[in-house]
A and B are shown apart, each in its own frame.
Chain A
Amino acid sequence: MTETMVWLDAVEKSYGAVRALAPTSIEIAKGEFLTLLGPSGSGKTTILNLISGSVAATSGKIWIGGRDVTHLPSNRRELGMVFQNYALMPHMSVFENIAFPLRVRKYPEAEIRKKVNEVLEVIRLEGYENRKPKELSGGQQQRIAIARCLVYNPDLILMDEPLGALDKKLRDQLQLEIRRIHRTLGVTLLYVTHDQSEALVLSDRICLMNSGKVEQIGTPDELYFRPRTIFAADFLGESNILDVSVASNGEQATLTTRSGFQIEGVRTSLSAPVAKVMIRPESLMVAENEKTEPNTFKGLVEDVTLTGGVVDIHVRLGDAETINVRRLTTRDFRMTERGRPITLRVKPSDVVVFE
């Protein structure tokens, strides 16, 4: 097992009768990129505030770099923090902003100069030392804020929706930049966002939060392909949730949807007679031959939307059942126009059964 950098040990936070965070235990390995993902009010910002020391835990312990910091003030926790609104000192130049943590640590002037220049090179903003933050674009300001954290090599860097105030192009650019910095410098990063695609792009592991509790924690792959709950399936990516009845022989099951379609050979140990299953729209294939065989659905195209690189096809299977299919956009996507019959095929291994 790798070295643990952060350990939340049954940490809980309540405001009076309102519980913002149920007792939660999370470990972050040294050099790991962990993302707290969830809707607003899910407790992800509470965890961040608890770690940064801006709010005190109601119970439980917080360890950073092997030290119990539960009762230490923010300035003695050896952290770096990046904010959505950058939080650069408006009265200081770029140089002084980045030098601030070094001056706090009483570095000699020559070393401050050397370190600031090094880190400006890492974020590719050499030559901006004497500008004021106001004179920079949002993306540049956020890079300065990141540099300000890198320069003193803290145990852990917290990022609180750092790309939330930027437009899409800049966001994509800075995502790659953050990923590059994380990979080359090996810093431990705790990232907060409500944007699932950002979480998937950046993280080593994602901790999905829902109403003050950890819903699921795992690699992006695990969360995407093996969500444990409907909430997880729904929050990351697109999903079709179907009600099925289950005929099980212990290891494999045959599922029957409400409109009578059957999926055979699904691996599950489920013994309940009914269940919900999830199928990703992109794992459904449009079948060319229209033979009736197991693991196919037949329906009518209800709507087709072109969203850019992909086409979403909404298919009605029966009175109370629809399913969405996602295909790459090709010139012949109009072949699936409204009202046409369509046959879809699914691999049993792509069906996720919620137990």
Chain B
Amino acid sequence: MAAMGKRTLKRSSLAEHWFPALGTVAAIFGYIFLVLPSLIVIPMSFGAGSELVFPPRSYSLELYRQYFQESTWMAVTGQSVKVGLATMAASLVLGFSAAYGISRTDFRGKGLLTVFLLSPMFMPHIAMALAMYLYLSRLGLVGTTYGLVAAHTLVTVPFVIVTAFAGLRYVDRNLELAAATMGAGRLRIIWKVVLPLIVPSIVVASLFAFLLSFDEVVISYFISSVQSETLPVKMYSSIHWEISPVLAAISSLLTVLSFGACVAMSLLQRNDQ
């Protein structure tokens, strides 16, 4: 009996020892498999040739020079930054107001409203793109920057709301009640008590909103015109007409940008705790 007990003990400890290790190895390979294609463009972007090849035959910064010197690329990048910042501002105001209102009051249909506000997260982008196209064309906003910002805001607001909920959950309700009993009105409470305490969530939400907008292709493709074209739309159309190696340089820059933002976000969230 004792011997048997010992053997099963040994086997289970073997399993305990090896399964997590195997899991880690599988995870690493899976991760590499997923990430490698996007990393491969980085060496390609330093190629000198006029076509996209891996590995590059010789190395130079030619493609980056082309990107930064061609006015059309700079124009669409500027447009993307503009749309991204406007989307960020709009979705911060809307998202945080909604999250604060919902988390600080009780009313009938609160759960339903929350689901409704978050629903764009679960909608296929292509369906939203079509819907937005039809809707905005009625208002005469298709092809305008306003239309783009409105459509992007619809996509980013749910993410801002979720981030804001998470931040607001850590703000002690008693702090707000204390401020109120001391005579502070709602606006002062939000400005002096709530907002300073959720700065990390605000920064994370801003980065999130900006990146989502900056990266968005499907809806932008439907809604933008030549005048309001964003960087991803221009990249997408240029891969159809002129497979330009500049795309590798731009993709690399975008990858580095996203990566930097992700690192910043995780550092902020760590500081928060």
Contact = CB atoms under 8 A, between A and B. Distances in A.
Interface residues of A, number: 26
**Interface hub of A74, A76, A158 (most chain B Cβ within 10 A):** A74
B219 to A, nearest CB: 38
B182 A90 contact: no
Interface in B150-197: 172, 174-175, 177-185, 188, 192-193, 196-197
A314 interface: no
B178 A75 contact: no
A54 B172 CA distance: 14
A77 B181 contact: yes
B181 A81 contact: yes
Interface stretch (A97-105, A183-191, A217-225, A280-288): A97-105
Contacts of A148: 178, 182
B183 A89 contact: no
Contacts of B196: 91
Given A90-B197, A104-B183, A152-B182, A74 B177 contact: yes
Given A75-B185, A104-B188, A87 B174 contact: yes
Interface string B51-78: 0000000000000000000000000000
Contacts of A66: none
Interface string A70-111: 000111111111010101011100000000110011000000
Nearest to A82: B178
B178 A104 contact: no
B182 A80 contact: yes
Interface in B212-263: none
Nearest to A157: B181
Given A75-B185, A89-B193, A100 B179 contact: yes
A260 B205 CA distance: 78
B177 A89 contact: no
A31 interface: no
A53 interface: yes
A83 B180 contact: no
A95 to B, nearest CB: 15
A87 B183 contact: no
A91 B197 contact: yes
Given A85-B172, A87-B175, A100 B182 contact: yes
Tell me which of B172, B175, B182 has the highest count of chain A C-beta atoms within 10 A of its own C-beta. Answer: B182
Contact of A74 (B180, B192, B193, B197): B180
B174 A83 contact: yes
Contact of B177 (A87, A90, A101, A154): A87
Given A75-B184, A80-B182, A104-B184, A52 B177 contact: yes
B65 to A, nearest CB: 47
B174 A79 contact: no
A81 B175 CA distance: 11
Given A89-B193, A90-B197, A104-B188, A83 B182 contact: no
A101 B174 contact: no
Interface in A125-161: 148, 152, 154, 158
B106 to A, nearest CB: 11
A79 B184 contact: no
A301 to B, nearest CB: 50
Given A91-B196, A91-B197, A105 B183 contact: yes
A75 B192 CA distance: 15
Nearest to B189: A75
A104 B192 CA distance: 11
Contacts of A158: 181
Given A91-B196, A91-B197, A74 B181 contact: yes
A53 B182 CA distance: 12
Contacts of A154: 181
A90 B194 CA distance: 11
Contacts of B188: 104
Interface in A51-66: 52-54
Contacts of A101: 182-183
A73 B181 CA distance: 9
A105 B184 CA distance: 9
A220 B257 CA distance: 69
A45 to B, nearest CB: 13
Given A75-B185, A104-B188, A105-B183, A87 B197 contact: no
Contacts of A80: 181-182
Contacts of A105: 183
Nearest to A51: B181
Contacts of A104: 182-184, 188
Interface of B: 172, 174-175, 177-185, 188, 192-193, 196-197
List the 4 closest A-B pairs by CB distance, nearest first: A101-B182, A74-B180, A87-B174, A87-B178
Interface of A: 52-54, 73-81, 83, 85, 87, 89-91, 100-101, 104-105, 148, 152, 154, 158
24 contacts: A52-B177, A52-B181, A73-B180, A74-B177, A74-B180, A75-B181, A75-B182, A75-B185, A78-B183, A79-B181, A80-B181, A80-B182, A81-B177, A83-B174, A83-B178, A91-B196, A100-B182, A100-B192, A101-B182, A101-B183, A104-B182, A152-B182, A154-B181, A158-B181
